[in-house]
Copies of this chain bind each other. A is one copy, B any other.
Amino acid sequence: MKTTFGETLKQVRRDKSISQRELADKVGVDFSYISKIENDRLPPPSAETIIKICQILDIPNEVLLARSGKVSSEIKEVIGSSVGAIRFLNEAQDMKLSDDDWLRLSDMLKQLK
């Protein structure tokens, strides 16, 4: 069973020995909000807040973003303005790609230019 956003956040934060209050202060939200999120009492924060959290915790953005269902505004911009990108992603969706497949696509991407 896949771990939730809250479980992942709680684990990472504890590993780094940071309190909810300290994290919350640095991110710029109330500490009680962090608590609720860690216990999955509230849905994950906005993509922007998730990214801040990852920066404070010193982990790659994708770790939490991928457990959140949220899409960063940068990525939204790429998709939301390109017919080609939307078509591509619709196809990708149908094929249920693995992380390995995506890695291969990243390689192809580099060869493209």
| A positions within 8 Å CB-CB of B | 61-63, 65-72, 74-93, 95, 97-106, 108-110, 112-113
Contact = CB atoms under 8 A, between A and B. Distances in A.
B105 A88 contact: yes
19 contacts: A62-B86, A62-B87, A66-B86, A69-B76, A71-B76, A71-B80, A75-B86, A75-B90, A78-B92, A82-B97, A84-B97, A84-B100, A85-B92, A87-B102, A88-B105, A91-B106, A95-B112, A95-B113, A108-B108
Contacts of A91: 106, 109-110
Count of identical protomers in the assembly: 2
Contacts of A83: 62-63, 66, 99
